């Protein structure tokens, strides 16, 4: 057994040497990262581990977990008082996957509901093991999102997660790069255990980064095996064909998770899906429109320069015409907030672009910036931390960035923003733009 394990680690090291994130760039100096925290498994084999929850359609929650033992039922018992499970759901599914010599435990996904808003549910997975609890999002504003990308699993990650948990929030949004397993599959399990105390309490909604790809020439050309098996998001519910991009509504907010590592060209499925999805948005029901990607379209850090450019060129006009309020990205391990921007110029009707790839992964920080600072970049800093988007009503939201300042959360940047759907001048401007385009088409 020990020999086998050693053999496995030896092979996975070879794999991770051969495997490279497609966009890794090493020509910038990073602050020393904290060491990887490996979170061991210390429960019996039939007990749930790596429990996390995600929103799936209106008033439903998906509970996901792993068991080493394969005969555990995919059931969730739940209720609104501890230890008292009035409801039970057995409509779940089980899966597992293999990657080279690694075979995952049994992965369970069970959707439960309908659930009441703003309610704490106590639940147990597979009929054994500890009780967990989560709270559903509120029925109306205000709603608070925690936003953090490029988490990884280091001492910094731990600090970031503690800070996120120390102040209450409703839903966590993760713009890609979760475990940094980079083909070493046991690190996916370790990541699942590290985040369980947080991801089992609040819904975590994620999209993929380059570290989720885990492609390998000829053997795994399409990649995303671990990611898609472990972190399925509600893509079918939003008419998407792929777990790599989807959308969902929560409390007056339509959130679109785009895939920086799925085809986004004009004739791609993702592009067509985005056009359809944007056309369906009803701003009287969801006055706020937020988009999440991994590789930033606007970035004045020297790291990953230009990597989001082809996606920006393909999709930016669609987002602009739809009056997207904010676009969050990860990938660059730093924080940066831009002005409202369209096509590289400040534009009062464009989205605010924010890079929040500062969760705390093992690669460390991206310290070097383009000088002088472009005028559209308002605030930039290479520190670990996380963001908070508190939407207070139809027209106003508060954004804040919380730096991990010597392990203490410090508010370092904050701003009030107004929704574009409430801006008369932007609505008028767009109507004029559409008219001009139509006239040009007729000529």
Active site residues: 304
Residue 207 binding Fe ion, by CB under 5 A = no
Residue with nearest beta carbon to Fe ion: 331
Residue 210 binding Fe ion, by CB under 5 A = yes
Shortest distance in whole angstroms from residue 134 CB to ligand NAG: 12
Residues contacting Fe ion: total by CB under 5 A: 4
- Residue 12 Ramachandran class (φ > 0 left, ψ -120 to 50 alpha, else beta): alpha
Rounded to the nearest 10 degrees, how much is the dihedral formed by the CA atoms of 369, 373, 376, 378? Answer: 80
Burial, 147: exposed, middle or buried (Cβ in 10 Å; 0-12, 13-18, 19+)? Answer: buried
- Considering the complex, state which of residue 236 and residue 395 has its C-beta at the smaller distance from ligand NAG: 395
Partner from ligand NAG, Fe ion, none contacting 393, C-beta within 5 to 8 A by type: ligand NAG
Shortest distance in whole angstroms from residue 36 CB to ligand NAG: 10
Evaluate whether 380 touches 332 at the Cβ level (below 8 Å).
Answer: no
Rounded-to-integer distance, Cα 9 and Cα 57, Å: 39
* Tokens, residue 290: 């937020």
- Considering the complex, state which of residue 392 and residue 411 has its C-beta at the smaller distance from ligand NAG: 392
Residues 297-356 that bind Fe ion (CB under 5 A): 331
- Considering the complex, state which of residue 107 and residue 303 has its C-beta at the smaller distance from Fe ion: 303
Shortest distance in whole angstroms from residue 294 CB to ligand NAG: 26
- Per CB under 5 A, the segment of 64-72, 202-210, 388-396, 405-413 that binds Fe ion is 202-210
DSSP letters for 300-328: -BSTTTTTTHHHHHHHHHHHHHTT--EEE
Residue 362 binding Fe ion, by CB under 5 A = no
**Token pair 């925690």 is at which residue?**
146
Partner from Fe ion, ligand NAG, none contacting 79, C-beta within 5 to 8 A by type: none
Residue 152 binding Fe ion, by CB under 5 A = no
- Considering the complex, state which of residue 197 and residue 239 has its C-beta at the smaller distance from ligand NAG: 197
Residues near ligand NAG (CB under 6 A) are 37, 155, 158, 162, 165, 197, 392-393, 395-396
The angle formed by the CA atoms of residues 264, 269 and 271, to the nearest 5 degrees, is 45
Evaluate whether 409 touches 383 at the Cβ level (below 8 Å).
Answer: no
Each residue 156-185 as x (binds Fe ion by CB under 5 A) or -, in order, gives ---------------------x--------
Helices (H), 149-238: 155-166, 186-199, 225-230
Shortest distance in whole angstroms from residue 359 CB to ligand NAG: 14
Partner from ligand NAG, Fe ion, none contacting 162, C-beta within 5 to 8 A by type: ligand NAG
Rounded-to-integer distance, Cα 269 and Cα 272, Å: 5
Residue 173's nearest CA partner among 353, 330, 340 is 330
Give me the numbers of helices (H) and strands (E) for the chain, helices first please: 7, 24
- Considering the complex, state which of residue 203 and residue 209 has its C-beta at the smaller distance from Fe ion: 209
Partner from Fe ion, ligand NAG, none contacting 165, C-beta within 5 to 8 A by type: ligand NAG
- Considering the complex, state which of residue 162 and residue 414 has its C-beta at the smaller distance from ligand NAG: 162
Shortest distance in whole angstroms from residue 124 CB to ligand NAG: 18
- Considering the complex, state which of residue 37 and residue 368 has its C-beta at the smaller distance from ligand NAG: 37
Rounded-to-integer distance, Cα 195 and Cα 201, Å: 10
Partner from ligand NAG, Fe ion, none contacting 37, C-beta within 5 to 8 A by type: ligand NAG
Shortest distance in whole angstroms from residue 318 CB to ligand NAG: 28
The angle formed by the CA atoms of residues 379, 383 and 386, to the nearest 5 degrees, is 80
Residue 203's nearest CA partner among 229, 170, 227 is 170
3-state secondary structure of 2: helix
Partner from Fe ion, ligand NAG, none contacting 177, C-beta within 5 to 8 A by type: Fe ion
Shortest distance in whole angstroms from residue 430 CB to ligand NAG: 23
Residue 209 binding Fe ion, by CB under 5 A = yes
Residue 205: phi and psi, rounded to 5, are -110, 125
Partner from Fe ion, ligand NAG, none contacting 209, C-beta within 5 to 8 A by type: Fe ion
- Considering the complex, state which of residue 67 and residue 419 has its C-beta at the smaller distance from ligand NAG: 419
Residues 6+ apart with CB under 8 A from 334: 301, 303, 355, 357, 358, 365, 366, 367, 380, 381, 382, 383
Shortest distance in whole angstroms from residue 165 CB to ligand NAG: 4
Partner from ligand NAG, Fe ion, none contacting 210, C-beta within 5 to 8 A by type: Fe ion
DSSP state of 211: G
Question: Which spans of this chain sit near Fe ion (rule: CB under 5 A)?
Answer: 177, 209-210, 331
């Amino acid at each position: 057994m020990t020999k086998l394990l050693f053999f496995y680690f030896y092979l996975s090291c070879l794999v991770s040497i051969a495997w490279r994130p497609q966009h890794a760039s090493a020509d910038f100096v990073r602050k020393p990262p904290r060491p990887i925290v490996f979170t061991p498994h210390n429960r019996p084999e039939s007990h749930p581990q790596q429990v996390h929850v995600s929103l799936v359609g209106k008033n439903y929650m998906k509970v996901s977990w792993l068991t080493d033992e394969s005969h555990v039922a995919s059931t969730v018992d739940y209720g609104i008082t501890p230890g008292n499970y009035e409801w039970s759901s057995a409509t779940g599914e089980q899966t597992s996957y293999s990657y080279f010599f690694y075979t995952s435990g049994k992965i369970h996904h069970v959707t439960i509901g309908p659930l009441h808003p703003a309610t704490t549910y106590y639940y147990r997975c597979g009929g054994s093991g500890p009780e967990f609890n989560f709270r559903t999002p509120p029925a109306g504003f205000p709603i608070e999102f925690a936003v953090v990308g490029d988490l990884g699993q280091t001492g910094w990650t731990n600090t970031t997660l503690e800070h996120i948990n120390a102040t209450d929030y409703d839903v966590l949004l993760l713009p890609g790069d979760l475990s940094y397993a980079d083909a070493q599959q046991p690190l996916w399990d370790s990541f699942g255990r590290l985040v369980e105390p947080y991801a089992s309490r609040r819904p975590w909604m994620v999209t993929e980064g380059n570290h989720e790809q885990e492609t390998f020439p000829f053997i795994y050309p399409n990649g995303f095996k671990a990611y898609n098996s472990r972190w399925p998001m509600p893509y079918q519910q939003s008419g998407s064909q792929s777990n790599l991009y989807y959308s969902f509504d929560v409390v007056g907010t339509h959130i679109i998770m785009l895939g920086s590592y799925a085809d986004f060209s004009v004739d791609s499925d993702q592009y067509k899906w985005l056009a359809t999805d944007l056309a369906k948005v009803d701003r009287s029901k969801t006055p706020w429109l937020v988009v999440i990607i991994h590789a930033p379209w606007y970035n004045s850090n020297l790291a990953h320069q230009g990597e989001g450019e082809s996606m920006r060129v393909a999709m930016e006009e669609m987002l602009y015409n739809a009056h997207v309020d904010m676009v969050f990205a990860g990938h660059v391990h730093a924080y940066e907030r831009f002005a409202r921007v369209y096509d590289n110029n400040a534009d009062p009707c464009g989205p605010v672009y924010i890079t929040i790839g500062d969760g705390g992964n093992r690669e460390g920080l991206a310290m070097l910036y383009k000088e002088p600072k472009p005028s559209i970049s308002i605030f930039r800093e290479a520190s670990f931390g996380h963001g908070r988007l508190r939407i207070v009503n139809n027209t106003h939201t508060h954004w804040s960035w919380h730096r991990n300042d010597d392990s203490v959360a410090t508010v370092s940047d904050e701003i009030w923003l107004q929704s574009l759907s409430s801006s008369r001048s932007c609505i008028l401007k767009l109507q004029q733009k559409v008219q001009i385009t139509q006239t040009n088409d007729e000529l």
